[in-house]
Amino acid sequence: MSKSQRRLAAAVVAVALAATACSASDDAGSGAPAPAGGKAELSFWGWDPNMDKVVDIWNKANPDLHVTLTNPAGGDQLVNKMVTAHEARNGPDIAKVEYQSLPALVAGGVVRDITEYTQDTVKDFDEPTLKATRFEGKVYGVPQDVAPLMLFYRTDVFQAQGLTVPKTWDEYAQTAKALKAKAPNLFMTNFDAADPGWFAGLVQQAGADWWTTSGDKWTVDINGGPSKKVAQYWEDLVKAGAVDKGPSFSPQWNKQMNDGTIVTWISGAWAPAQFKGIAPDTAGKWAAAALPVWTAGDKNTGIWGGSAITVTTDSKHPAEAAKFVSWLNTNAEAVTAQIQNINVYPASTSGRSLPVLKTPPPFLPNQTDYYELVKQAAPGARSFQMWGPNVTVTFASYTDSFGKAMQGGTPFAGALDAMQNATVTDMKKLGFTLN
C-alpha cells in the first residue's frame, strides 16, 4: 500500500476494532441472501496441500459454478499478493486468510462483507470461533479451522529415557533438565526465534493481550507481565542447554525431529499433517497431549494458526463465491474431505462431530482419541482479544529481536521491549492514538 492508503486503512481498523471490543454483537446482519444463480467461473487462492481434491468434489456437483484453485503463496506473502492484486482490481474471487491478517484486509477494502450471504452459515459456529471473522456485527469470512496448541512427543524416546508426559510448565522444565542430564545430545524441544506464531500462542495461554482498545485509544502491551513470564521461562531453558536454539522447519530441525534428537514439539492441532514432510521415518512414534499449563488443573491453551475463507471485493460473483465458501466449511462431505486430505480441525460445530474424526491421523495411528483430545482443548483455546493493525511489523520485530537475543545471549525481556517499541512507533506513524 501507499503511505496514504496505509493511514486510511489504519483509521478504519481503529474504528472497526474499537467498536468490536466495546460492544459485543450477535447480529449476523440483515436482509435476505442474494440469490446465486447462473454460471460463473470463480478463482480461489489458497495454500493447503491437497485442497484440489476438495475443490474437485464441488466442481463435479456444481458444473455451472466452477472453481479454479491456485497457490500463489502462503500466509503473509499471500496477503501481500492480495493487496497488490486489489490495487490492480484483479484479485481472486475467494482467498484463504489467516485470522491475524484479516483485520487489515477488512480495513483496506480487500475482503468483502458477506453477512447477507451467510445468515444460515454462521449458525454452525460458536461465538469464540466466529469472533475472529466478525467486525461490527458484519461477517468477513467463514472460519475454516481452529488450531489449539498441543504437546506432541516422541513416545519411543520418552519410554527409553523413562520420561513422564508433563502436565504443567514446571514439570516440563524439570523433564527437560532431567533429559539433558541423562542424554546430553537430546533436547526437549527448540526455541524458535524465527517464527512468532508459536510464541504468540504461548503468551495467549498465559493471559497476554498484545492489543486492546478503549474508545478510540489503543493500548499495546507486548512486554507486559504475562509475556515476560513466558519469555523468562524459555530463556532459562535455553541457558540450561535443555532446548535447542535452531529454528523450526529448517533442514537441521527436520533431521532432529526425524532422528529423535528433539523429543517434543509444541504446535497447533494441524501438526499431524506436517509430520510426513518433517520426519518421514517416525510414523507411529508420536503422540499428543494437552499443552502444559501454568497452574495444575487449568484448561487454557493458546492458538497457533487458523484461517478463514474470504470473498474479495474484486469478485464479480460475490453470492456465488459465498455459496462455495459456506459449502467448503459447513458441508459434511467437504469438511470430511478437508480432514482426510489436509488434516484440519474443523471450525464448524457440526464438523467437530463427524465420523471421520474417530479415525486418528496417519502419523498417530495408535492415538485413536486424538480428535477427541483436540475437541476437549478447543473450548479453552485463548487468542488475543484482538489482533492489531500492524501484526506484520510486530512479527518481523520478533524475528529480529529474539534472533539477536539468542545470538548475543542477551535477556529475552529486552527482545519483548524491542517488539513493543517497534509496534508502538509504527502505530503512531499510522495515525493511531495510544494510551
**Residue 126 has what DSSP assignment?**
-
Q: Is 178 exposed, middle or buried (0-12, 13-18, 19+ CB in 10 A)?
A: middle
pLDDT of residue 37: 57
Among candidates 366, 362, 196, 192, which has minimal Cα distance to 264? 192
DSSP string for 73-103:
--HHHHHHHHHHHHHTT---SEEEEEGGGHH
Specify whether 30 is located in the same domain as 90. yes
Cβ pair 176, 242 in contact under 8 A: yes
CA–CA separation, 405 and 403 (whole Å): 5
- 76 within domain boundaries: yes
- Asked whether the CA dihedral 289, 295, 297, 301 is positive or negative, the reply is negative
Specify whether 294 is located in the same domain as 163. yes
Cβ pair 258, 278 in contact under 8 A: yes
Specify whether 10 is located in the same domain as 141. yes
Q: Which of 358, 383, 401 is the last residue of a domain?
A: 358
The beta strand positions in 99-162, using DSSP E, are: 134-135, 138-139, 142-143, 149-154
49-105 tens-digit pLDDT: 899 999 999 999 999 999 999 999 888 889 999 999 999 999 999 999 999 999 889
CA 63 to chain centre: 33
> Residue ranges of the chain with pLDDT lower than 70?
1-38
For residue 397, give the CATH number of its domain. 3.40.190.10
CB atoms within 10 A of CB 215: 10
- 366 within domain boundaries: no
Question: Cell numbers 494458526 label which residue?
Answer: 305
Specify whether 299 is located in the same domain as 310. no
Helix, coil or strand: residue 222: coil
Specify whether 272 is located in the same domain as 331. no
CB atoms within 10 A of CB 358: 12
Specify whether 352 is located in the same domain as 221. no
Number of domains in the chain: 2
Among candidates 357, 360, 321, 2, which has minimal Cα distance to 152? 360
For residue 183, what are the domain limits? Answer: 149-303+391-434
Specify whether 321 is located in the same domain as 295. no
- 254 within domain boundaries: yes
pLDDT of residue 389: 84
**Residue 187 has what DSSP assignment?**
B
- 207 within domain boundaries: yes
Specify whether 400 is located in the same domain as 317. no
Q: 277-288 burial, b for 16+ CB within 10 Å, e for fewer?
A: ebbeebeebbbb
- 381 within domain boundaries: no
Cβ pair 113, 28 in contact under 8 A: no
- 370 within domain boundaries: no
- 130 within domain boundaries: yes
Cβ pair 210, 100 in contact under 8 A: no
- 380 within domain boundaries: no
Helix, strand, coil % in the chain, rounded to nearest 5: 50, 15, 35
Specify whether 265 is located in the same domain as 400. yes
Helix, coil or strand: residue 281: coil
Which residues fall within 8 angstroms of residue 65, CB to CB, at 6 or more apart? Answer: 36, 39, 40, 42, 58, 320, 323, 324
CA–CA separation, 417 and 433 (whole Å): 20
Specify whether 296 is located in the same domain as 183. yes
Specify whether 247 is located in the same domain as 335. no
CB atoms within 10 A of CB 433: 12
Specify whether 235 is located in the same domain as 354. no
pLDDT of residue 131: 87
AA identity, residue 113: D
